[in-house]
Structure 1
Amino acid sequence: MPRRHPRTVLDRLRTPRGIPGFLKTASVCALIAGLLSPIAPAAAAGTANPQAAAAVNDHCGNRCSDILPPGQNGNATLAQILLNQAFGTQPEHAEDQLGPYNNLAKGYPGLTNDKINTFFNDASFGVPADQVASTVKPAGRGDVTIVRDKKTGVPHITGTTRYGTEFGAGYAAAQDRLWLMDVFRHVGRGQLTSFAGGAPSNQGLEQQFWRHAPYTEADLQAQIDNAVATNGERGRQALADAKAYLDGINAYIDASDSGRYFPGEYVLTGHKDSITNAGKIEHFEITDLVALASVIGALFGSGGGGEVNNAISLLAAQEKYGVAEGTRVWESFRMRDDPEAVLTQRTGSFPYATRPDAPQGTALPDAGSVRAEPLVYDRTGSATTPTATGASGAAARTALSSARRGMSNALVVSGKHTASGHPVAVFGPQTGYFAPQLLLLQEIQGPGISARGASFAGLSFYVELGRGQDYAWSATTSGQDIIDTYAVELCQDDHHYLYRGTCTPMEKVEQKNAWKPTVADGTAAGSYTMRVWRTKYGPVEYRATVGGKKVAYTTLRSSFLHEADSIIGFQMLNDPDHVKGPEDFQEAVRHINYTFNWFYADSEHTAYYNSGDNPVRASGVDAEFPVWARPAYEWRGWDPAANTADYTPPSAHPHSVDQDYYVSWNNKQAKGYTTAPWGNGSVHRGNLLDDRVRELVRQGGVTRASLVKAMADAGLADLRAEDVLPRLLKVVTGAPVTDPAAAAAVSKLQAWVAAGSKRTETSAGSRRYADADAIRILDAWWPLLVRAAFEPGLGSELYRAMTANLPVDESPSAAHGPTGAHAGSSFQYGWWSYVDKDLRAVLGEPVKGPLARAYCGDGSLGACRDTLVRTLKEAAGTTMAQVYPGDDVCAAGDQWCADSINHRTLGGIKHGPISWQNRPTYQQVVEFTSHR
């Protein structure tokens, strides 16, 4: 049985020692009764007579659906938080999308088109009259109406003026996510601990984000000024929209304060007094939106980096094998342009960040000289260790990675292969599982805006992923490299460097944080200072020596100081007068500088475009490694003051219209296009989608239901079991398996493969897997077999360096993997391709893009088989408790729970775990039946 809820990103929101153990039930009830006296949030907002929201120009024909767990309502009063923590009760619409989302895992095999909305919401425009739950004129305005539906509580915002429309969007966002928005504006400024307390996870979270975007207030304002100045009328409109949106947020803050129905977290963190109402919720400012955008950009839209780690592993390979052979070995593991990788765009070539024939300017560190630049100074009291180690670092890595390394995916099929003749799309972003969710749902209808979908809380003046009147769009993280590492030569001291021949002082940017305990906090008072040294070439990340010279390694990101620029692209996507077809869509997303794959469908066409400001690098520069900070190796056309450069033209980005089908699961975009993540080889989770969609297209007559089924089926598959285990068993069973334990394990694994290699429950709600023992065996076997197959040949040092570049395993229960435990996302990062290619080489089968040498059994089939049988026997002997050791959510040995998805709390409301499924958080199912 679960022991207790996990420590969360905002630990201090737990009431003292947990309500059930600290206060008697009668005391809790009395306290709650006293707190219920303020009016409920919906009533306080000024409910008018219910009326239907107008449905305008909806070409979906009731064939648009979406889902976003756990629920639309992410705000809770103090009374609701206390009830939730004492008795598990939920505020209205706090988790009503969680059940349908969860149930698809068992319900998809029998899915038909008319059952889709059993597992999704109807995403048609408007609200039928009999489904209207409330109608609000925010702040008494006559130019905007917010209608919420009974089923989900999603706001449908209709304005007669542009200002009123955006005012309503801000008001509705604050109704649903005020606390979360406040948290993340402070995260973006590196001020979370001062705002929400010094819990280790809070410290880790602000450290991780602020290091990537250490902005001053002047930097934040400059982004706004630049976005407006460089985008003409659209820039001016964006600024007006943002200001109206802020006015709506602040109007809700004032109303909730006077009505005393503001989020209860403000009381638990000491910002408001529940009895006297003393205290203040700060109004939002325009620069808060940039701080929020910097967090989103760091999470999802900034591919690249890692050049120092790449250099360390290259040096280890060269030390092991010599320079020439070591480089060849390293390149074979890097798989920059693997010919067997699954592609989103299957035609054409788009060379980017390719390996130069004669690399120039590379600045590899001297062996053993690299040291991470300290971030945290002057720690006092409960301040924990920096993010590299300790509880703070673990919490931050878990929170950050669960979102950044999510499993956004897309399945889009052209109308020539569908039953209706219209394109069908099932797509959505993965933003991690949080309570409340980072995204919110909304519909916005007003002058120049007509859209429904999901937006990041605090940035929802436009729909960022969703549908328009006759088209829909979505995105997946692409990860192409827009970040480079420069070696700046130091002069005078450690805080001066050579910039174009002149000794130049680094800029010191500091953020001081101090916190004190409250009644709801078990952490003592403390403080620390975060400090980043900035250069023209970006913030300092490491110190080292290169050829004996002292250097600082800096990180230069093309979107640094430019997160606000993408606002124009989102504005265009919401504008029905702009997007009238696939070319207009592609033109819109070209204005988004985040590294995303964008997908589009209307009633006639599909389209794809890869966005991001891809810098034009100097000839001979290898983007995989640090280079010298000298003019010859700078980005072409680079202006260090504005951090602008020459960027590759749209024609050089992967893009197409009306391909037979598109799939994306953070896989390789196109031939020649080098993405930053390692592991884009012969086995990638993108294959799980590609195999299924390709077969549907071959058969023809694709429907919304069949495409959802393909997505759900892939989302329950164990990639290792489906695409690698058959070859492992082929090697193992190449001769009789005489050991009884190994033979029994082989039989169980074979049966699992024959049954479809899924991680599914025996029945809905059973919390027990079919093929449970086979799953246990593979979970135990995979890390054992990888190490036993590769470490002897690579050597321990090189093996460790390679696993730092690419973790060995990311099964659903792999708490040690990149995403941490209970995050849902699985099988994005792992040695799947290495094992696959190595086994084929050992078996004598064809391999395109092979590893530089065979590793398992040193290339001997017999020795490889012995290695696999030995490790399989060891894995078979492990117990459930050893493989799934238990944590704050699960008891040791509870396999289903170890895999389960748990919403990490960012506020006071918590939710129970749901069964594992590898799919987007927000997801659309769309098929438009007509076009303007």
Structure 2
Amino acid sequence: MPPRTIKFRAATVAAVLALGTPLLAASPQAGAVEPGPVTDYCQGQCDDILPPGENGNATLVDILGNKAFGTHPEHSDDQLDRYNGLVAGHTGLTDRKLADFFNDASFGVPQDQVESVTSPRDDVTITRDKASGVPHIKGTTRYGTEFGAGYAAGQDRLWLMDLFRHIGRGELTSFAGGALANQGLEQQFWPQAPYTEADLEAQVEYIRTHEGARGEQAMADAQAYVDGINAYREKSKNGRYFPGEYVLTGKIDAITNVGEIQPFKLTDLISIASVVGGQFGGGGGGEVQAALSLLAAQQKYGVAEGTKVWESFRQREDPEAVLTIHDGTSFPYAGKPGKARGTALPDAGSVTAEPLIHDRTGSAGTDRKAPVQAPAPLKKAQGIYDDGVVPEGSLPGSGSGAHKRGMSNALLVSGKHTASGNPIAVFGPQTGYFAPQLMMLQELQGPGISARGVSFSGVGMYIQMGRGQDYAWSATSAGQDITDTYAVDLCEPDGSTPAKDSTHYLYRGTCTAMETLEHTNSWKPTVADSTAKGSYRMQVRRTNYGIVTHRATVGGKPVAYTSLRTTYRHEADSIIGFQMLNDPSYVKDAASFKRAASNIDYAFNWFYADSRTAAYYNSGMNPVRAAGVDPALPVRAGRAYEWQGYEPAANTAAYTPFAEHPHSSGQDYYVSWNNKQAKGYAAAGFGLGAVHRGDLLDDRVAKLVDEGGVTRASLTRVMAEAAVTDLRGEQLLPELLKVIRSEPVTDPELNAAIQQLDSWRAAGSQRRESSAGSHAFTHADAVRIMDAWWPKLVEAEFRPGLGDGLYEALTADLATDESPSAGHGASGAHSGSAFQYGWWGFVDKDLRQVLGQPVKGPLARTYCGDGDADSCRDALLASLKQAVAQPATEVYPGDDNCRAGEQWCSDSIVHQPLGGIAQKAIHWQNRPTYQQVVEFPAHR
């Protein structure tokens, strides 16, 4: 669905309303006997939350009512106010008050809390609770349990699942209309996993035949899940209570009921998994852009000094970076080799992006502006510039490897520091804010399955993050380097001289044709999307070394740069790890949990808590690289530089063993906010330096642990306080003020601004309302000044010394700013997540160098004022004066949701509609979308 607005044809609306609600009546509920409960060792001390609400389906009447009167279907928004309320409510939070802001995540539903019981088969019941409408699925057979999971997924996310299987196939505009947001989604995701149907079927077969008994069981479970989805699909269509978006997009006629919801199949699950895994579980890549900034540094300073300068910004192993494993344990991986082999830097000025879009017609015609507006909720910074557009011809993988969507966080404290003596965890994934949500809550109880939590819609055979009978687990995006860029030599079959656009390449000595993969999308106006008729063709070229992203010359010879990630062609193999996490006979302690997590191929940090142990494991298919290969830069294609044991047919290779992945049990505490995992585990991109968002958690949790007696409420308070804190104000403003105040400031206007900033800093540098519901920040002027000042001060501090070319190349690697109100950066406007990507660490090191303070892992040069303290002060004051003069209407220019100058609104979280129901904006907080607060007092 196009975001935000839906235009309705008056005749259609009138016809539907005339027919009344029987056309789209509520789903019938069949009575059934609920199976007995399982033992719940959490004993009422597990809570969770997932805004805006569990119900993500809306009939046409529901959608019309929402647009006309602001009404919401039941359970579609009942978790929103509780989630929002923690901003004001966390300061006085107690364990007892947690229930005001979280759901009770206990197993089962008390009899007096049962809202409905549905039995789609004799061997499964779906019991929904009154409080939130969460489906509690209990089966007497394995097939029935998984069938019930699919049926419940259809009840809660049918339209969303349909949307995402089309996104994964690059067919969204043909399915839902040619709106720019839809074009942006399919152009973002399809090129990173451009599979044919045969490719998708091969992945299903690979799991079934290469993963042993668990693989066979996984595919049987997946088939049962699909069967359940299809059962609900058919019943809702026949009963006329299907999602109203099918009418609005012209799939079904509202009056005659003619039309079809296409059946789901196993390959749809692979397609959906490719979107989810690529968005949240990737890592690395971006080596072409890194090479361009290295060349810019070498051009300015010479090869030796330029490389030194570049490495100081690259910060592969910054000794000041916040670590998840902070006990000194080292896990060497993907570091800089002593002497690199095979590095393939492009010739200066030779790089061009591989075209993606071709043959525009109609509303997609060539007379249109070339860049396609990227949808802020789901975009990655890779290939997306700061103005939020995907340049025509760019492909995912062209930007910085650090710019992966992450944002999830985790806080765990071991039992020796808690009031109860049991570990406590507050953790969850940040997957953006959507209506309906990308994930759905459910409980699964059946043979070999016992868990409650969230799963991504359409791949919910198992709980992906949640709790078992006596343990809970969650994840954050890890982003370690599992994607490499190869420079493949181009050739012509007849032996003639190749050009940059040649479509053949040398593979192990043979001139081989690139495989051309295409998708043509066309659309016409619908009720939901009035975009005029149009079409275009997406095209990528695939090699045995991955997808072609750029063309260039290296040493004067033409090459194609390709992007190859280990999880390509293995989008759903991680199903084995999730199956284990849901199996109470497998996960019994921290050690078995880590083994289960090691079967998840995507790059994630996994966290675990039971009544005895807090633990951590980093998952991912980390390739074993050839000796001497530098993973931060493009490498020549060829056997000498391939991953060890690489076979292209199924994209398999040798991977680092279990023990070499960062892992730990029983550390005093763990924090993760997409920061560096451990000593020696090299950063996959720019930005893991001396100041990171993870510091907001680490400093607070360390203090809490030192004080002792940690409770669920106190750990939640720490998370919630960090969630409304401005990283720049807390971590950088003290140094900025120290430089500025090295001499008296004589300008009265600047002095007033400095006092405002200092008062804000002293009060905690928070972006919070002066009172709940006021929509006005305390210290509003200081927040405005900081928002205006930061990009100006970074440029004033670094551009003069670096020069235009190098500064622009480095800011292409890492954007300077990602404040909550920013409509740029990796997460876009109104998305909640902030301060993941920025020049925080660079500014910190540079200012400390100016002040003469000790710096571990310093920048190769001092840039502010060319190292002169007085000149640095003058530059900062000049940029501050510009910021003070900038009116709020320019700092917060307004958008579809806010008028210019509306500060609170600019920060606010907006649940981006992926269907016909809209939600109100809520207060900004830098917090997981789904979150658990758990403490187990007992164990099996």
TM class, shorter-length: over 0.9
Shift of residue 390 of structure 1?
Answer: 2.2
Q: 1:36 and 2:21 equivalent?
A: yes
Query: Which residue is 2:346 aligned to?
Result: 365
Q: Within the alignment, does 1:706 sit opposite 2:714 as a pair?
A: yes
1:518 is displaced (CA, Å) by 2.0
Letter in 1 for 2:282: S
CA displacement at 1:716 relative to structure 2? 0.6
Cα 1:445–1:396 change in 2 (3 A) is closer
Mapped partners of 1:48, 1:400: distance in 2 = 49
1:219 corresponds, among 195, 199, 212, to 199
User: How do residues 496-895 of structure 1 correspond to structure 2 at under 5 angstroms?
Assistant: 496-895=504-903
Is the 8 Å Cα contact of residues 15 and 255 (structure 2) preserved in structure 1? no
Indicate conservation of the 8 Å contact 2:143/2:224, yes or no.
Answer: yes
The verdict on how the C-alpha distance between 1:847 and 1:915 changes in structure 2, with shifts beyond 3 A counting, is same
CA contact (8 A) 1:10 1:199 kept: yes
| Correspondence for 1:153 | 133
Q: Measure, in 2, the Cα distance between the counterparts of 1:567 and 1:510.
A: 28
- Report the AA paired with residue 895 of structure 1: Q
Q: CA deviation at 1:97?
A: 0.5
Paired position in structure 1 for 2:54: 72
Summarize the Cα distance change of 1:772–1:180 in structure 2 as closer, same or farther, 3 Å threshold. Answer: same
2:272 counterpart residue number: 292
How far residue 23 of structure 1 moved from its aligned partner, in angstroms, is 5.3
3-state DSSP of counterpart to 1:80 = helix
Q: Does residue 10 of structure 1 match 2:18?
A: no
Q: CA deviation at 1:392?
A: 3.5
Matched, 1:241 2:221: yes
Match of 1:5 in 2: none
For 1:416, give the aligned amino acid.
Answer: K
Q: The residue matched to 1:724 in structure 2 has which SS?
A: helix
Q: Is 1:198 paired with 2:181? A: no
Mapped to 1, the partners of 2:166 and 2:826 lie a distance apart of 25
- The answer to whether residue 445 in structure 2 is matched with residue 445 in structure 1 is yes
- 2:230 pairs with 250, 253, 264, which one? 250
Matched letter for residue 531 of structure 1: Q
Q: How far off is 1:820 after superposition? A: 1.1
CA 1:596/1:887 → structure 2, altered by over 3 Å: closer, same or farther? same
Letter in structure 1 aligned against 2:130: K
Find 2:356's aligned residue among 370, 375, 380.
375
Partner residue of 1:333 out of 305, 313, 328: 313
Q: Secondary structure at the match of 1:810?
A: coil
AA in 1 matched with 2:360 = R
Q: Which moved more, 1:521-530 or 1:593-602?
A: 521-530
Paired with 1:28 and 1:540, the residues of 2 have a C-alpha distance of 47
Aligned Cα root-mean-square deviation (Å): 1.7
Query: 1:417: Cα distance to partner?
Result: 0.5
CA contact under 8 A between 1:52 and 1:126: conserved in structure 2?
no
Deviations 1:88-116 (A, max 9, x none): 11110111111000000000000000000
Shift of 1:384: 6.2
Q: Is the 8 A contact 2:114 2:130 kept in 1?
A: yes
In the alignment, the residues of structure 1 paired with residue 927 and residue 556 of structure 2 have an alpha-carbon distance, to the nearest angstrom, of: 49
SS in 2 for 1:838: helix
**In the alignment, which residue of structure 2 is the partner of 1:93?**
75
8 Å contact 1:491–1:503 — kept in the other structure?
yes
Contact 1:478/1:610 (8 A) holds in 2: yes
* CA distance in 1 between partners of 2:370 and 2:381 (Å): 15
Check whether the contact 2:689–2:841 (CA below 8 A) recurs between aligned residues. yes
Aligned counterpart, 1:47: 30
CA distance in 1, matches of 2:778, 2:368: 39
State the 1:40 CA deviation. Answer: 3.0
Deviations 1:874-916 (A, max 9, x none): 1111111111011110000000000000011111101111010
1:845-899 deviation digits (Å, cap 9, x = unpaired): 0000000010001001111111111111111111111110111100000000000
Q: Compared with structure 1, are the counterparts of its residues 404 and 908 closer, same or farther at alpha carbon in structure 2 (3 Å cutoff)?
A: farther
Give the letter for the 2:347 counterpart.
Answer: D
The answer (yes or no) to whether the contact 1:205–1:400 under 8 Å persists in 2 is no
Counterpart amino acid of residue 872 in structure 1: L
Q: Which residue of 2 is the match for residue 466 of structure 1?
A: 466
* SS of equivalent to 2:700: helix
Give the SS at the match of 1:110.
coil
Counterpart in the other structure of 1:486: 486
1:117 aligns with 2:102: no
CA distance in 2, matches of 1:804, 1:400: 10
Q: Shift in Å at residue 530 of structure 1?
A: 1.1
CA distance in 1, matches of 2:438, 2:552: 38
Alpha-carbon distance between aligned partners in 2 of 1:721 and 1:309, rounded to the nearest angstrom: 30
Summarize the alignment of residues 378-397 of structure 1 with structure 2, pairs less than 5 Å apart: 378-383=359-364, 390-393=371-374
Q: Distance in 2 between matches of 1:591 and 1:389?
A: 42
Instruction: Give yes or no for contact 1:201–1:396 (8 Å, CA) kept in 2.
Output: no
Q: 1:865 to 1:813 in 2, by over 3 A?
A: same
Distance 2:813 2:182 in 1: 27
The residue number in structure 2 matching 1:343 is 323
Measured after TM superposition, the shift of residue 143 of structure 1 is 0.5
Q: What are the Cα deviations for residues 279-315 of structure 1, in whole angstroms up to 9, with x where unaligned?
A: 0001100100000110111101110100000000000
Structure 2 distance, partners of 1:816, 1:535, is 33
Q: Would you say 1:59 and 2:41 are equivalent positions? A: yes
Deviation at 1:826?
A: 0.3
Q: Is the 1:343–1:667 Cα contact (8 Å) retained in structure 2? A: yes
Equivalent AA in structure 2 for residue 265 of structure 1: E
Shift of 1:379: 1.3
- Residue in structure 2 matched with residue 405 of structure 1 by the alignment: 405
* Counterpart position of 2:395: none
Find 1:189's aligned residue among 169, 180, 195: 169
* Partner SS, residue 572 of structure 2: helix
Deviation of 1:31 (Å): 4.1
Specify the alignment match of 1:268 in structure 2.
Answer: 248
Give the 3 Å change call, closer, same or farther, for CA 813–638 of structure 1 in structure 2: same
- Residues 681/791 of structure 1: CA separation in 2 closer, same or farther (3 Å cut): same
- Which consecutive unaligned segments of at least 5 residues does structure 2 have? 383-387, 389-402, 493-497
**SS of residue paired to 2:563:** strand
Q: What is the count of residue pairs matched by the alignment?
A: 912
335-344 vs 52-61, which moves further: 52-61
- TM-superposition CA deviations, 1:397-432 (whole Å, max 9, x none): 648889952410000000010000000000000000
Greater alpha carbon shift after TM alignment, 517-526 vs 551-560 = 517-526
How far the C-alpha of 1:677 sits from its partner, in A, is 3.2
Supply the distance in 1 between the matched residues of 2:55 and 2:406 (Cα, whole angstroms).
23
Matched with 1:4 is: none
Contact conserved, 1:858 with 1:864, CA < 8 A, in 2? yes
Compute the displacement of 1:674 (Å). Answer: 1.1
Displacement, 1:350? 0.8
Q: Distance in 2 between matches of 1:338 and 1:395?
A: 31
- Structure 1: any 5+ residue segments left out of the alignment? 1-8
Which amino acid counterpart does residue 301 of structure 1 have in structure 2? G
Amino acid in structure 2 at the alignment position of 1:357:
G
Q: Confirm or deny: 8 A CA contact 1:304 1:480 kept in the other structure.
A: yes
Q: 1:633 to 1:400 in 2, by over 3 A?
A: closer
**Residue 194 of structure 1: CA displacement?**
1.1
Q: Secondary structure at the match of 1:598?
A: strand
* 2:489 alignment partner AA: E
Q: Which amino acid aligns with 2:718?
A: A
Residue from 115, 118, 123 that aligns with 1:133: 115
CA contact (8 A) 1:598 1:611 kept: yes
Q: Match of 2:90, SS?
A: helix
**Do the aligned partners of 1:204 and 1:395 also contact (CA within 8 Å) in 2?**
no
